[in-house]
Amino acid sequence: KYKENIKFKDVSFNYPNGKNALKNINLEIKTGEMVALVGQSGSGKSTILDMIAGLNTCSSGEILIDNQSLYNFDKNSFLKKIGYVDSDINLFPCSIKKNVMMFSPNATEKNLLDAYSFSNLNKVIADIENSSEKIINNRGSTFSSGQKQRLCIARALIKNPEIIIFDEATNYLDDKNEIFILENLKKLKGEKTIIFATHKKSILKYFDKVLHIKNGEISKIDI
């Protein structure tokens, strides 16, 4: 379990095609903080999130977890600590329950119900007969995009991750559900580290710290 912080020290990153996506990023995210990365499309938010998850490796500089290089940790066991939801909906043609429990085979029924309530799915699920066994088809299913996105959120939360990463992961939700999820994330603050990329300025009041990203650089930090 990591205790103190995630730090970027002069992190730059170039994609394999040569595109320089991050320039000398310095940041600190303390354990238990709820942090927003805000910036226009193409500013580098997703690249930073992928760096934190260890999916991209720094071209220069270093990423430290409790002052130890991220790359000293075993990649797979580090990924287990992370609940990552991105803006694309990735569901599989199997039951609702299997979709949500996919990466958490040992989760209990109670964990499942908690994940459904976190994502405001109780009512949706209750309204479906034999709901948990109901098969989801990515196309043409009776689920709305917002409901599908909430299933993706439930899948990340049921992992009981130490670090929760949302990459524009409320983009399909209506305002009411987005606020519901933000309020629930806020309740996890302290216990979990929450990192949330968005281009929406209206929701920034939920966060302890706001990192403004512009052209691959941090242009401003609001605390």
Contact residues: Mg ion, CB under 5 A? 45-46
Nearer to ligand ADP by Cβ, of 68 and 219: the residue is 219
Smallest separation (angstroms) from ligand ADP to the CB of 41: 4
200 near ligand ADP, judged by CB under 6 A: no
170 near ligand ADP, judged by CB under 6 A: no
Q: Within 13 A of 215's CA, how many CA atoms are on the CB side?
A: 1
Q: Which stretch binds ligand ADP (CB under 6 A): 38-46, 66-74, 100-108, 117-125?
A: 38-46
Phi-psi region of 127 (alpha: psi -120 to 50; beta: other; left: phi over 0): alpha
One of 45, 148, 150, 192 touching ligand ADP (CB under 6 A): 45
- Cβ of 200: how many Cβ atoms within 10 Å? 12
Residue found by looking up tokens 């710290």 in the block: 209
One of 31, 43, 99, 104 touching ligand ADP (CB under 6 A): 43
54 near ligand ADP, judged by CB under 6 A: no
Tell me which long-range contacts 53-57 makes (C-beta under 8 A, separation of at least 24). 53/78, 53/79, 53/82, 53/84, 53/165, 54/78, 54/79, 56/13
Chain residues binding ligand ADP by CB under 6 A are: 15, 17, 19, 21, 39, 41-47
